[in-house]
């Protein structure tokens, strides 16, 4: 391990001691927000320091084992210990390097997952429903809660648009790479000749803002409309104007919610979606100004604008960003997304490590 990394971990060890002292101070406990922030930092720093201490211990174990290699009676045991220590040190070194990579402060947030039909008409809307089912099943496997914020159904049972709220640990960080164009190649149910068609949907993953959102909204810039909810819901949907649509007049951004029977709760949910979209708009504008490498979230929805292709005749999924191809498409569509998501996370980590190495 490089000296620069060792120095960083030594500083983290000193910070862990400082945090212990701060959290023992009764004055800190009087400030709930400060206490929560310090507690979160202590949990993160404490885990890293524990790994660093384990790394140092295994270095000492390795040095002792190497000294015993010259002793005939201890040589075999020493060789086993050398092999075990070297293997664990390599794993710890990789984990510690990853731990030093810059973190997206939004990763820990809940997320809004937006799916929209693009090119392909009815087939695109049906594929949007398939994507929604895939994400819902993956969230269930991952222990994440989901809630429908708004939906617009198509004539054949698909979705023109669906907005989900995903709640749980690192919801945004785990899903954020899904943003972009998703292309499907298959024989649509509406195709009488058995020909393969290509359609597309767009997916956008947005971090849910804090309650004290960074984006300041002037109430005079909002238009709030009420209307009757459509779809399932029994007699209630025909009797009350509980659905809410909020339009941010300066940008034209619209958010709506009709999921709840309470107009008040629908308004709060729609405002949360609006804040997320405005916040994402500001972030995208800032990244464009700074010539950020990543593209904006959703793309155009055209067949050629894609991050991933789902080829049903070949049972193949291809993620074009990292040249990943796997032949278990049906399992993926049932929510088995971990291999894809983890590959994308590893690819980003490798890019960040390479950038850090270049900067040293």
| Structure tokens belonging to residue 228 | 């009757």
Distance between CA atoms of residues 274 and 296, nearest Å:
17
Question: In angstroms, rounded to a whole number, what is the distance separating the alpha carbons of residues 42 and 19?
Answer: 6
pLDDT digits (tens, 9 = 90+) for 282-293: 777 766 654 343
Average of pLDDT values for 165-189? Answer: 92
Query: How many other CB atoms are there within 10 angstroms of residue 76's CB atom?
Result: 11
When pLDDT is cut at 50, 70 and 90, the band that residue 332 belongs to is: very high
Percent of the chain whose pLDDT exceeds 70: 88
Strand duo 308-311 + 180-186: pairing: parallel
- Which H or E run contains 226? strand 222-227
Q: What is the pLDDT of residues 23-47, one digit of tens each?
A: 998 888 888 888 888 888 888 899 8
| pTM of full prediction above 0.85 | no
As a whole number, mean pLDDT of residues 128-142 equals 96
Which DSSP letter does residue 209 get? P
pLDDT band with cut points at 50, 70 and 90 for residue 356 = low
Distance CA 352, CA 225 (A): 45
What's residue 215's pLDDT? 62
Q: What is the tens place of the pLDDT at every residue in 15-27?
A: 999 999 999 988 8
DSSP E strand boundaries for 46-110:
none
Whole-number pLDDT of residue 297: 47
d(CA 344, CA 338): 10
Give the Cα separation of 179 and 189 in Å (integer).
26
**Cβ pair 300, 200 in contact under 8 A:** no
Domains of the chain are: 3-99 (1.20.58), 111-212+300-359 (3.30.70.1660), 219-289 (3.30.160.20)
Query: Over the stretch 235-260, which tens digit does the pLDDT of each residue have?
Result: 444 456 778 898 998 888 888 888 77
């Amino acid at each position: 391990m490089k000296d620069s990394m060792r120095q960083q971990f030594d500083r983290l060890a000193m910070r862990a001691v400082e945090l212990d002292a701060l959290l023992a101070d009764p004055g800190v406990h009087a400030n709930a927000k400060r206490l929560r922030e310090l507690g979160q930092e202590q949990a993160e720093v404490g885990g890293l320091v524990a790994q660093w201490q384990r790394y140092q211990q295994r270095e000492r174990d390795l040095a002792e084992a190497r000294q015993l290699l010259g002793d005939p009676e201890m040589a075999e045991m020493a060789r086993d210990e050398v092999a075990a220590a070297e293997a664990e040190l390599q794993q710890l070194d990789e984990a510690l390097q990853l731990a030093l990579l810059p973190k997206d402060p939004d990763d820990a947030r809940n997320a809004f997952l937006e799916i929209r039909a693009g090119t392909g008409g009815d087939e695109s809307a049906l594929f949007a429903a398939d994507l929604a089912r895939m994400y819902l099943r993956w969230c269930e496997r991952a222990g994440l809660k989901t809630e429908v914020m708004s939906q617009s159904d198509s004539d054949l049972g698909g979705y023109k648009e669906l907005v989900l709220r995903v709640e749980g640990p690192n919801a945004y960080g785990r899903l954020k790479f899904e943003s972009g164009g998703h292309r499907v190649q298959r024989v649509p149910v509406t195709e009488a000749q058995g020909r393969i068609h290509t359609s597309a949907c767009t997916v956008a993953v947005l971090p849910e803002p804090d309650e004290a959102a960074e984006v300041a909204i002037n109430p005079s810039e909002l238009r709030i409309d009420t209307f009757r909810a459509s779809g399932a819901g029994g007699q209630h949907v025909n009797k009350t104007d509980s659905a809410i649509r909020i339009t941010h007049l300066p940008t034209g951004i619209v958010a709506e919610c009709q999921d709840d029977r309470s107009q008040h709760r629908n308004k709060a949910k729609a405002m949360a979606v609006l804040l997320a979209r405005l916040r994402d708009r500001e972030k995208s504008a800032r990244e464009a100004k700074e010539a950020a490498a990543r593209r904006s979230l959703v793309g155009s929805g055209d067949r050629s604008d894609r991050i991933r292709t789902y080829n049903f005749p070949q049972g193949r999924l291809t993620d074009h960003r990292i040249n990943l191809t796997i032949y278990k498409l049906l399992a993926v569509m049932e929510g088995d997304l971990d291999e894809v998501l983890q590959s994308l996370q590893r690819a980003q980590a490798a890019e960040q490590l390479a950038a850090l190495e270049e900067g040293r």
